[in-house]
Each structure stands twice: as structure tokens, then as C-alpha cells.
Amino acid sequence: MKKVVLLFIIILAAIFLLAGCVPGDGVANPDKPANFLWGIWHGWVAPISLIISLFNSDIRVYEQINTGWWYDFGFYIAIISGFGGLSLFRRQRRQRPNGER
């Protein structure tokens, strides 16, 4: 029981720490827009951003003040690799001689 409570507290703390870096938090501005690395980060925290955006209209899933294509590229790389992994690097299952997996 204590392990479950400790795990819950750790997960909750991680969510609060990640919530400080969501899109729309005021870090990006026209002089210094969000770049490729911020795109990767925002892709990783997209599920948390989505939940927070339901309660706070200033927070978005996607940073609108960005560098363009490079931000988009980083964002989509993080979404693809974070939710399902890159299928290019997955091992294919070998079939057994009798046809079972």
C-alpha cells in the first residue's frame, strides 16, 4: 500500500513539474519564438497540456508563436515517438513453425 501511495505522489509531482513548461506559458515571444527543441518538448507534454487547457484558456496544446516548419517537425516527432514508438525501430515478431505467435 505504501508503494502505491509513493508512486502516486511521484507521478503527481512529475505532472506538476511538467505543467510549468506547457505551450502558452509566456516563454515564447515574437523576438524569441519556440524552436525545434521546444517543439519536441511540447509534443511530449501534449497530453498534459490538453488536460490543463480544459481548465485554463491561456494554455494551448501547440505554441502559436513558433519558428514554423522546424517547430512543427519537432512537435510531430515527439508525438509519433511518444505515443506508440517509431515503428521503424520495432522488432517484428517471428512466427513459430506451427503458425502461432
- For 16-60, the pLDDT digits (tens) are 776 777 787 777 888 999 999 999 988 988 888 888 889 888 888
pLDDT at 100 > cutoff 70: no
Give me the pLDDT at residue 101, please. 60
Q: What is the pLDDT of residues 61-96, one digit of tens each?
A: 888 899 999 999 999 999 888 755 555 555 666 666
Do the Cβ atoms of 69 and 49 come closer than 8 Å? no
Do the Cβ atoms of 74 and 37 come closer than 8 Å? yes
The domain spans of the chain are 2-89
Distance (Å, rounded) from C-alpha 11 to C-alpha 65?
A: 30
Q: Is 90 helix (H, G, I), strand (E, B) or coil?
A: coil
Give me the pLDDT at residue 73, please. 95
Do the Cβ atoms of 25 and 59 come closer than 8 Å? yes
Q: pTM for this structure?
A: 0.67
Which residue intervals of 1-101 are DSSP H helices? Answer: 2-19, 36-44, 46-53, 69-82
In the numeric block, the cell 505551450 is attached to 23
